Amino acid sequence: MKPCPDCLKKGKLRYILDRDQECWTCYYEKHPDEKKIKDESRERFERAVKDYNADRAEKRRKEKVNHPCAHRRIGGWCGLSAIHSQCQYSKTKALKPAPVGCGDAIPKKRIVKS
C-alpha cells in the first residue's frame, strides 16, 4: 500500500494499492460523469431491493391471511410445533378432521368488508 499522491498534495493521507495511481475520491473528482453513473446504478439497485422485499412481504401477508388455521405463523411455521417446523397442512386441508387435516386447527375470524 502507498499513499495517494493527489491526497498528499491536499494534506490528507489515504492509502491505495501499489498498482493504483489514485484513490476513488480523487478519481470521481476528476470524472464526475462516472460518479453520476455509479450513483444512478446504486439508486436503481437499492430501489430494486426495496421493491423485491416489499413484494415478498406482501406475499407473506397474503399467505398468512389465506391460510385458515390461526396456528400458522407469518414465516409458514406452525404455532403448535415445539421446534418451529413448517406447517404441514395446506390451506385446503388444515381444517379437515384429524387423519387428513390438523385436528387442532382453529379457523381464523375474517373481517368482512362491506
Do the domain assignments include residue 97? no
Alpha carbons within 13 A on the beta-carbon side of 36? 4
Do the domain assignments include residue 19? yes
Domain with 8, as residue range(s), is 1-30
Contacts of 64 (CB under 8 A, 6+ apart): 72, 73, 74
Q: What is the pTM of this model?
A: 0.53
Phi-psi sector, 84: left (phi>0), alpha (psi -120 to 50), beta: left
Do the domain assignments include residue 2? yes
CA nearest neighbour of 107 among 89, 84, 82, 86: 89
Do the domain assignments include residue 26? yes
How many domains would you assign to the chain? 1
pLDDT values of the chain reduced to their tens digit, one per residue, 114 residues: 999 999 999 999 999 999 999 999 999 999 999 999 999 999 999 999 999 999 998 887 777 677 777 777 777 778 877 787 877 888 778 788 888 888 777 787 765 544
Q: What is the pLDDT of residue 80?
A: 79
Do the domain assignments include residue 83? no
Do the domain assignments include residue 82? no
Do the domain assignments include residue 13? yes
Do the domain assignments include residue 16? yes
Residue length of the chain: 114
